[in-house]
Structure 1
Amino acid sequence: MILPRLLVVTDRTQAAGPLPDVVARAVAAGARAVLLRDRDLPAGERADLADRLRAVLDPVGGLLVVAGATAGATHLAAAEPFPDPRPDLVGRSCHSAAELARARAEGCDWAFLSPGFPTASKPGYGPALGVEGFAALAPHGPPAFALGGVLPEHGPALLAAGAAGVAVMGPVMRDPALVRAYLAASA
C-alpha cells in the first residue's frame, strides 16, 4: 500500500473538540490516513475510539493506523519491540540514522523522522533537523515522513529533500481545515 503524503496524528489534548469530530473534519478536508496515537487511554476506550475513527475513514477508503497495535496497520515507538506476527503495515518513529537503519532492517513500511522543526510536542529528541538534516538522514531508512513542527510551507522543500510526506499533529488537531493547506503544499 502506498501511503498518502499526509498522515494526521491524533492528540485529543490538543483537539478542537471531540477527537472523532476533529478527525471527521480533517477527512472532510481531504485527509486519508490517520494515526491514532493517544496511548494513555485504557485499552477498551482506545479500541472504541479506533472503531469510531475507522467509521469516519472507511467511507472514503482511508487508513487508520493504531500506535502500538498488534494487527492491521501499526506505528511503533523508536524503542518498541517489533511485533510477531508482523502486522499488515508497520511504521516506526525514528530520530537518528541508526534508528532508521533498524526500521529498514525490520522491514518497516515507513518511518517518521523527527523532530523536523522546533516544536513543543517533541521535546528531548535533539535539535530540529530542518530540511538539510532530514535530507541527510532519510536515505538510511524506509520511506520517511517528516514529523514535528512541520508547517504547510515546509512541504515542498521536504518533498524535494526526499520525504515521502509529512505527519502532522498539533496544527491539524487545533484546526482540521489546515489539511487543505498541507495537501496543496505536498502535491
Structure 2
Amino acid sequence: MKRLDDCKLYVITGEAYHPGRELLEVMEAAIRGGADIVQLRDKTSTGAALLAKAKALRALTRRWGALFIVNDDLEVALEAEADGVHLGQDDLAIGEARRLAGSRLLIGISTHNLAQALEAERAGADYIGVGPVYPTPTKPGRAPVTTSYVAEAAARIRIPFFAIGGISPETADDVLAAGARRLCAVSAVTGSADPADVCRALKRRIAEWEARDAGGEPGAEDVRVTVNGRDVATRSGTLRELAESLGLASLRVMAERNGEAVPRADWAQVAIRGGDRIEFVHFVGGG
C-alpha cells in the first residue's frame, strides 16, 4: 500500500458525472491512469448501500495498491477498513476523530483559508485539501480561494496538501506554478470518457514541475521498479512502454503487475509506479 507522502494525485468519486457507467469501472480507470488515492464521496446513499460501495472500493484500491478514503463518515471508514476519513469544516473535530479512530485512519480535512490550514496542522491532521481553487459544480455557491491561497499553503503548511476545485489538465499548470505538488480532481476525471488518460495527463504535469524543482528537465524523472526480481530505473509511463524499453513488446510474453496478470490489450493503459513488481514471462505454446 502507498505511503501518503508518496501520493500525488487524489480522485474523488462523482457518480453524477458518469451516468450509464459503473462506479468501479470509472474509478479503476482512474487508478490505472495514476490516481494514488480514491475517496468515496456520496451525499445520497446511506446505511447498507453506502457501506457496500465503500467495501467495493476498498477491495478495488487494495488490489491496485491505492489508498482509500471515505468522506465524512468515520463509522463507514472503520467498518470498510478504509485507510482514512476526510472531514469538512462542519464535521467531526479532528481531535475527536483521532480519539475514535486512533492510528487506524489517516485524517484529512478541507480548508478554505490559511487560518483553517494552520489549525488543521496543529490539531494533527495528516493532510488537508486546499480549495476550491476555481469554481466547481462539486461545491456550488462556494467562492473560489484562487491560487493565492495555494501559494500561502505552499509557503506555510508542512503536512501534505492537495489543491482541489476545478483541477484539470488545462488548469493544473497554474496551480502547480503557485506551489502545489499534489492535485485532487473530481469532474475532470470522473466525467471524462477516458478517466485514465486525464489522470496520466495530471501526473505528467506534476512530474514536470517536480523535475523543475530538482533542476532537471521536465518529464525526466526516473521511477524504480522491480522487473523479474531485478531493480530497474525507468522513465516508462505504462507497462507497454516498459516492455518496449526492455525489447519485449514484440515477443510472446505474459505480464504480471504486483502479482496480477495484465492482458496485453491493457498494457498501454496500465501506469507504472515506483515500487511496482513486474514479471514478464515468456510464453511457450504447445502443439
- Please give the TM-score of this superposition, normalised by the length of structure 2: 0.60
> What is the number of equivalent residue pairs in this alignment?
186
CA RMSD of aligned residues (A): 1.9
Find the counterpart in structure 1 of residue 10 from structure 2.
7
What does residue range 80-159 of structure 1 map to in structure 2 within 5 Å? 80-81=91-92, 82=94, 83=97, 84-85=99-100, 86=102, 87-126=104-143, 128-141=144-157, 142-159=159-176
Paired letter, 1:25:
A
Q: Tell me by how many angstroms 1:125 deviates.
A: 2.5
Find the counterpart in structure 2 of residue 182 from structure 1.
202
SS in 1 for 2:42: coil
Identity of aligned residues (%): 30
* CA deviation profile, 1:111-135 (whole Å, cap 9, x unmatched): 1111111222222322x23323320
SS in 1 for 2:171: helix
Paired letter, 1:4:
C
For the pair shown, the structure with the greater C-alpha radius of gyration is: 2
Q: Tell me by how many angstroms 1:94 deviates.
A: 0.8
Paired letter, 1:9:
I
CA 1:76–1:139: 2 relative to 1, 3 Å: farther
Find the counterpart in structure 2 of residue 34 from structure 1.
38
The answer on 1:162 being equivalent to 2:179 is yes
Find the counterpart in structure 1 of residue 189 from structure 2.
172
Runs of 4 or more consecutive aligned structure 1 residues displaced over 6 Å after TM superposition:
none
* CA deviation profile, 1:35-91 (whole Å, cap 9, x unmatched): 111132112111111111122211221111111242341100122122122452010
The answer on 1:22 being equivalent to 2:42 is no
Kindly indicate whether the alpha-carbon contact (under 8 Å) linking 1:150 and 1:166 is maintained by their aligned counterparts in 2. yes
Q: Tell me, in whole angstroms, the C-alpha distance in 2 between the residues paired with 1:68 and 1:3.
A: 23
* CA deviation profile, 1:92-127 (whole Å, cap 9, x unmatched): 01111221122112111111111111222222322x
Find the counterpart in structure 1 of residue 70 from structure 2.
66
CA 1:15–1:3: 2 relative to 1, 3 Å: farther
Paired letter, 2:179:
G
Find the counterpart in structure 2 of residue 79 from structure 1.
90
Q: Tell me by how many angstroms 1:145 deviates.
A: 0.9
Q: Which moved more, 1:54-63 or 1:156-165?
A: 156-165
SS in 1 for 2:107: strand
SS in 2 for 1:186: helix
Provide structure 1 residue ranges, at least 5 long, that are not aligned to the other structure.
Answer: none
SS in 1 for 2:184: strand
- Please give the TM-score of this superposition, normalised by the length of structure 1: 0.89
SS in 1 for 2:10: strand
Q: Tell me by how many angstroms 1:160 deviates.
A: 4.1
Provide structure 2 residue ranges, at least 5 long, that are not aligned to the other structure.
Answer: 208-287
Find the counterpart in structure 1 of residue 49 from structure 2.
45
Q: Tell me, in whole angstroms, the C-alpha distance in 2 between the residues paired with 1:91 and 1:105.
A: 13
CA 1:30–1:22: 2 relative to 1, 3 Å: same
Q: Tell me, in whole angstroms, the C-alpha distance in 1 between the residues paired with 2:120 and 2:44.
A: 24
